Structure 1
Amino acid sequence: MQATSTIEQPAAPPASDSRSWSRAFRDIREAWGQRELWAHLGWQDIKQRYRRSVIGPLWITIGMGSTALALGLLYSQLFGQDIATFLPYVTVGFIIWNFILGCVVEGTDVFIANEGLIKQLPAPISIYVLRMVWRQVLLFLHNLIVYVIVLAIFFSSLSHPYYLQNSQVEHPGLGLGMLLAIPAFALLVINGSWVALLFGIVSTRFRDIPPVVSSFINLVFFMTPIVWSTGDLTKVTNGTGSWRTAVAELNPMYHYIEIVRAPLLGHQQSWHHWVVVGALTIVGWALALTALRNYRARVSYWV
């Protein structure tokens, strides 16, 4: 009888679901479920930075206050603005910008900075994004003390209708519209999360991204109406700056800042800022979730 071969072929490996939408959404759900962990780590980051300091995290407030005061006084003189309305404008803009800057710059480094934890702990990678964003929220709350102080000083100038110089728009002044700053900042946090998630994943693969972003973000600061207003564009061009104002509108940072700054200062609300930010939120999260779906499992190898 002729012998027959009994060698069995190796079984095919089970199909991996590492690149499935369910795993991507599960990563975010599990990270949110462990909020006590990333909230504690974010607070510890703040405490560790100012360990053995006499006044601790208050240095954050002092640094922001001195910077806003210096820039407000300088640019109010350069642009011929009333300090009572322009200093709050610069202060609030700078506080919001500092939050955006932290999410973008630290977001590119979020997984690289947590290399040790990622390689040792089997945890959702979204935890590190939430930890970083929560840390930026805590910094924002510290800086908000400066806004409260400035508001107390210049409340009489901001509590009734007023104009920013070089602007034809009358602002209604502080009122119940200030409450819109709460959902506006929540939207800012949601956007900061997708920015950190998307840029963080890309930066682990391409290490040139963090220095490129750090260099480019400085240019964006000067192109964004923070220490100047869109009305100044019309002044320097003798009233013919309409196309320059349109260029400023193309800067997405302007819309992110304005949805929070306008209610905090009692400015006239322009709803197109909300539309732009809402559209960017949808597009940004679509890109971030796609990156999370396709490359979540590779982050631990790339860092």
Structure 2
Amino acid sequence: MNLSEAIVDITAAFRDRYFWTALGWQDIRTRYRRSSLGPLWITISTAVTVAAMGPLYGALFARSPGEFIPHLALGLIFWAFMSGSINEFCDAFSGSAHYLKQVKLPLTIFVLRVIYRQFIILGHNILIYPVVMVLLGKSVNLNIFWAIPGLLLVSVNLLWIGLVVAIFCTRYRDMHPVVGSVMSLMFFITPIVWQVDQLPPGRAHLADLNPLTILLELMRQPILGGVPAPMYWAVAAIAAVAGSVFAVALLARFRHRVAYWL
């Protein structure tokens, strides 16, 4: 195990940010070639989902539109960012085999490529929320600035998750649908279309056992006007440190084998 090589891999990837940003942008252009609206189709789809589910589920849960629809809209937007990243990490290396088989490149570049691609989509999808604010007469306060460190902390966690998932799914190709199934299940047990205070008394803490709930709330609560609980920051920070250590160790152990698994 050569930890220094793994650390060099990660630092070199950040130094070559032009490469993975160019790759991520090219992915978007290729995916939506000959499309008039490009990734805005995803934004339109998300907006339609919010418009359809918001009034319906708000009525089912006896929640006012001004309370429930912003919660749902931001939940769907940030969930698409996290789940889209995790699902696409499965193909981060195998989808870039033509690069990895010919040129020696830092593996972290292809994980950052996925995250950057999802950031572009997030940038389009977040445009939905100002429309929701205008229609519902909502406002923001200074707590919205907590969303910046929240998004950074989420990104760090996504980076180490991406390295782990990419290595694992490259070695075991049939794990891609497993990851997809797990993320589909996590959608229903994460407070996106429901709210934590709807759980029976004494059961609200169960939602916090889901790590994706914590990551989601670090981004959503500041925009809704709140401040995430200190426990959320602590858990996300500990996960970022512990996960990063694990990911570096895994990268050091298997980085030389990835090209042979492709």
Q: Indicate whether the TM-score tops 0.5.
A: yes
1:188 aligned counterpart, secondary structure: helix
- Report matched runs for 1:1-303 at 5 Å: 19-154=1-136, 156=137, 158-159=138-139, 174-234=140-200, 241-242=201-202, 244-303=203-262
**Post-superposition offset of 1:132:** 0.8
Cα distance between partner residues in 2 of 1:296 and 1:77: 51
Deviations 1:124-153 (A, max 9, x none): 111111111100111111101111211222
Cα distance between partner residues in 1 of 2:226 and 2:194: 15
In the alignment, residue 287 of structure 1 is paired with which amino acid?
A: F
Tell me the TM-score normalized by structure 2: 0.96
Cα distance between partner residues in 1 of 2:237 and 2:49: 31
In the alignment, residue 175 of structure 2 is paired with which amino acid?
A: I
**Post-superposition offset of 1:71:** 2.0
**Post-superposition offset of 1:268:** 4.7
Cα distance between partner residues in 1 of 2:148 and 2:163: 23
Contact map agreement 1:64 1:95 (CA 8 A) in 2? yes
- Percentage identity across aligned positions? 39
**Post-superposition offset of 1:267:** 2.5
Cα distance between partner residues in 1 of 2:239 and 2:32: 35
Contact map agreement 1:102 1:136 (CA 8 A) in 2? yes
Tell me the TM-score normalized by structure 1: 0.83
| Gaps in structure 2 of 5+ consecutive residues | none
Cα distance between partner residues in 1 of 2:98 and 2:170: 14
Root-mean-square deviation over aligned CA pairs: 1.3
Larger % of helix: which? 2
Deviations 1:278-303 (A, max 9, x none): 11111211111111111001000011
In the alignment, residue 177 of structure 1 is paired with which amino acid?
A: N
1:110 aligned counterpart, secondary structure: coil
1:90 aligned counterpart, secondary structure: helix
Cα distance between partner residues in 2 of 1:119 and 1:276: 38
Contact map agreement 2:146 2:227 (CA 8 A) in 1? no
Cα distance between partner residues in 1 of 2:125 and 2:96: 26
| Gaps in structure 1 of 5+ consecutive residues | 1-18, 160-173, 235-240
Cα distance between partner residues in 2 of 1:198 and 1:256: 18
Cα distance between partner residues in 1 of 2:228 and 2:117: 29
**Post-superposition offset of 1:53:** 1.1
Q: Which has the larger radius of gyration?
A: 1
Deviations 1:161-184 (A, max 9, x none): xxxxxxxxxxxxx31110110111
